Amino acid sequence: MVTAIAVLVAVVLTAAIIWPCAIGYRKKVVEAKLGNAEDRAREIVDEALKAAETKKREAMLEAKGIITWLPLAPVRRQWGRILKEIHTPVIPRCVFVYISNEERNTLQKSYRLLQPEVILQELPDRCNQNK
């Protein structure tokens, strides 16, 4: 009888010690999963905003009669059970344009443009770094 009571007391004490530890571990695991999910959701939203902003800028430039080129890449995305293929810009926030010097001077007032000299100067440097 005494051994049964001793075993029961040992089980109760062990449960009292382990229970808070188990709850703490479970909270830690769930919070880590939620944090990762929130970060991934934020990344998806940021990517979508960048793509939408780039496409909007391209449409605005084309509406002004400027020749534009926006390289797009097909990407498969899944929303629940639906799998769609969407086209996202290869270089986010970058639209290539074919303009004259006069048009460039007027566009610089409302858009941030890279100078052709800078682009031509950086291209060989970047190509040499990749080798």
Q: Give residue-wise pLDDT tens across range 81-119.
A: 899 898 888 888 888 888 888 888 888 888 777 776 666
Q: Give residue-wise pLDDT tens across range 26-75.
A: 777 777 776 777 787 888 888 888 888 888 988 988 998 889 888 899 98
| Residue 103 DSSP label | H
For residue 96, give the 3-state DSSP assignment. Answer: strand
**This prediction's pTM:** 0.56
